[in-house]
Chains A and B, each alone.
Chain A
Amino acid sequence: MNDTLSKLEAVLFAFGEPANVKKIAGIMDLKDDEVIKNLEELRNYYNQSNSGLSLFEHEGSYELVTSAKHSETIEKILKTEIDEDLTPAATEILAIISYLGPISRSSVEYIRGVNSSFSIRTLMLRGLIERIPHPEKANAYLYRPTADILKRLGVEKIENLPEFARYRELKKMIERNEETGD
């Protein structure tokens, strides 16, 4: 590990909470793209060196987390907040929002063919999904997975969901159909 990487590791450890690229760049006196490059290198280093740590990314913020393979051990110290089983409807909605999010409620309902407001509200209360204002429509919202559910799944970043790119392709199809459909 070179000096920059080890400094980056120390900075992330000291933060102990998600830090965005700008923040890290300011502290380390690096350019944003240099930080991103080093973050990727650190992630590779962790993945290749049998480290007990992983680098987790969500919405442009990074933090050190314990690696998935030690989950069982660390669970003895730290309880995961997301412990309940998921109902079939909850699993389906969470999958749709995780793979295709940020996504509107109407799109979720378009795919499922069933009103999903109750389940979406419950998932939000449980901290598994969060809503953000729609960038183009006033008073409308989009839903996306929270950092907590991604950590619970053991994925370091959303793109690491199994076969992410393949299922992501469906988003275009849905958007096209929703415009022409009802």
Chain B
Amino acid sequence: MPIYEINLENFSGPISKLLSLIEDKKYEIRSVDLAKVTGDFVDFVNSLSNAHPRLLADFISVAARLMLIKSRDLVPDIELTPEEEEQITDLEERLKIYQQFKGATILFGELYGKRQTLFSRPERKRKKADDKVVFLPPQNLTAEILLLNLKKSINIIEELEKRYEKYDALNLEEYIANLWDRVSGRITKFSDVASGKDKREVIIFFIAVLNLLRENKISIQQDSHFSDITIRSN
């Protein structure tokens, strides 16, 4: 497991950390007390330098709010914008919610640890009963009817084969060569390449484009979703 995943799994996040700093000092959730733990929280964030950036970002966002509170504390004349005031209230609210919910997490963990599982009847056995193979032929079924239907099925397959015979000749190498002939040394639109072709051929031409792109023989440009693709040979 990469280190950052362990980090994410073992941390309860910045709200939890901040709350424990406040509770350790027997403070209350109010801005005066939040200002007092700002230093400790920032120290903790600094110690997280190896943490995954995503985790770090969440901690820094809380640290930023704390610093806002701290600065208001130090410079009483400072005027905060309504958004900033709201950010502070929001942080306080979240701390209160987290504090109130914390008990549920503890109870949940204890319950899980008790191993008092309720068991259903085993699914495996139920499935076996469902999967039981039964021979239940339709009435009036005869060997002749089976043969007749088999022949019908074979006919359908043969017809399908005939219909797709021409595609058997489709060879990606040839398409790539063909495409290269058309685009080499100039700028081409994919819509020109595809015009008059059926869906299957368009797909193969598209694969050919991707192949040439991989081989670095062409560059392509598409301005927006589903818009035309411009092909330039390199």
Contact B9 A90 (CB under 8 A): yes
> Which of A17, A163, A170 meets B107, CB within 8 Å?
A163
- B-contacting 9-mer, from A2-10, A25-33, A174-182: A174-182
> Which of A92, A152, A154, A173 meets B105, CB within 8 Å?
A92
Contact B58 A113 (CB under 8 A): yes
Q: A116-155: which residues lie under 8 A (CB-CB) from chain B? A: 118-119, 151-155
Interface string of A154-170 (1 = CB under 8 A from B): 11100001110001001
- A-contacting 9-mer, from B115-123, B143-151, B159-167: B115-123
In the complex, the chain B residue whose C-beta lies closest to that of A153 is: B111
Contact A112 B103 (CB under 8 A): no
With the chains together, A181 CA to B11 CA distance in Å? 24
Q: Which of B8, B55, B118 has the most CB of A within 10 A?
A: B118
Q: Which of A65, A67, A74, A113 has the most CB of B within 10 A?
A: A113
Min C-beta distance of A112 to chain B, whole Å: 4
- A-contacting 9-mer, from B85-93, B194-202, B206-214: B85-93
Q: B1-41: which residues lie under 8 A (CB-CB) from chain A? A: 5, 8-16
Q: Which of B10, B55, B86, B119 has the most CB of A within 10 A?
A: B119
Chain A residue contacts of B103, Cβ below 8 A: 163, 167
Check B128 for interface membership: any CB of A closer than 8 A: no
- A-contacting 9-mer, from B74-82, B94-102, B223-231: B94-102
Contact B11 A89 (CB under 8 A): yes
Give 20 new A-B contacts, CB below 8 A, not counting A96-B104, A111-B94.
Answer: A17-B120, A17-B123, A63-B120, A67-B118, A69-B116, A75-B115, A86-B109, A89-B9, A91-B108, A91-B109, A95-B105, A95-B107, A111-B97, A114-B8, A114-B11, A115-B8, A118-B8, A119-B9, A173-B97, A177-B90
Residues of B at under 8 Å CB distance from A? 5, 8-16, 54-55, 57-59, 62, 86-87, 90, 93-94, 97-98, 100-101, 103-105, 107-109, 111-112, 114-123, 126
